[in-house]
Chain A
Amino acid sequence: MAVFEKDAVMVWLKLSIIFALILVTVIFIIYFFRIYHYYRPKPQPKPRGDVKKGKVYSLSLGLLPWEKESTRKHWPVYIIGIIYHSAIAFAFFRLVAILFNLNFFLNFFSNRPVMIFLFVGTVSGLSLFFRRLLKAELRQLSYPDDYAANLLVNLFLLNGAISIFFQKALIFFLLNAFFLILYLPLGKIRHCVFFIPSRLIFGQYYGLRGVLPPPFKKIFQ
Chain B
Amino acid sequence: MIEKNWDSQVKQALSRGLDFERAVQLSTCVRCGLCAESCHYYLVEKDVKAIPAYKLKIVEQVFNYYLNSSGRFLTFWFGSQRLKASTVEKWLDILFGRCSLCGRCSLNCPMGIKIHDLVRLGRSILAELGLVPSGLASTISTTINSDNNMGIKTEEWIGTVRWLEEELRRELEDSSVCLPLDREGAKILYAINPREAKFFPLSLLAVGKIFHAAGESWTLSSNYYDVTNYAYFSGQEALAAEFFRRLEISMKRLNCQMLVLTECGHGFVSARWEAPAWLGYQPDFEIRSILEIMADYVQQGKLKLDPSRNNLPVTLHDPCNLVRLGGLLNEARFLIRQSVKNFIEMKPRGIENFCCGGGGGQLAMTEFAARRQKAGQIKARQIKETGAKIVVAPCHNCLDQLLELNRIYKLGVQLKTVTEIVAEALVF
Contact = CB atoms under 8 A, between A and B. Distances in A.
A binds B: yes
Interface of A: 31, 35-36, 38-40, 42-46, 48-49, 58, 62-63, 68-71, 73-74, 77, 81, 135-138, 140-146, 148, 185-188, 190-191, 194-195, 197-203, 205-206, 208-211, 214-215, 218-221
Given A36-B20, A143-B76, A220 B333 contact: yes
Contacts of B31: 138, 141-143, 146, 188
Interface string B20-35: 1111110111111111
A205 B112 CA distance: 10
Contact of A219 (B54, B110, B276, B330): B330
A143 B18 CA distance: 24
A210 to B, nearest CB: 4
Contacts of B33: 135, 137-138, 141
Interface in B1-52: 15, 18-25, 27-38, 48, 51
A17 B30 CA distance: 25
Contacts of A218: 330
B348 interface: yes
Interface of B: 15, 18-25, 27-38, 48, 51, 53-54, 57, 70, 76-79, 106-114, 272-273, 275-277, 279-282, 286, 295, 299, 323-327, 329-331, 333-334, 337, 348, 351-352
Contacts of A135: 33
Given A43-B276, A141-B31, A198 B25 contact: yes
Contacts of B273: 45, 208-209
Nearest to A47: B327
A195 B38 CA distance: 21
Contacts of A145: 77-79
Contacts of B334: 219-221
B20 A38 contact: yes
Contacts of A199: 111-112
A77 B25 CA distance: 22
B114 A70 contact: no
29 contacts: A35-B20, A35-B23, A38-B19, A43-B277, A45-B272, A45-B273, A46-B282, A62-B112, A68-B107, A69-B108, A70-B109, A71-B110, A77-B32, A81-B32, A137-B33, A145-B77, A146-B30, A186-B78, A194-B28, A195-B28, A202-B109, A209-B325, A210-B327, A211-B323, A211-B329, A215-B329, A218-B330, A219-B329, A220-B295
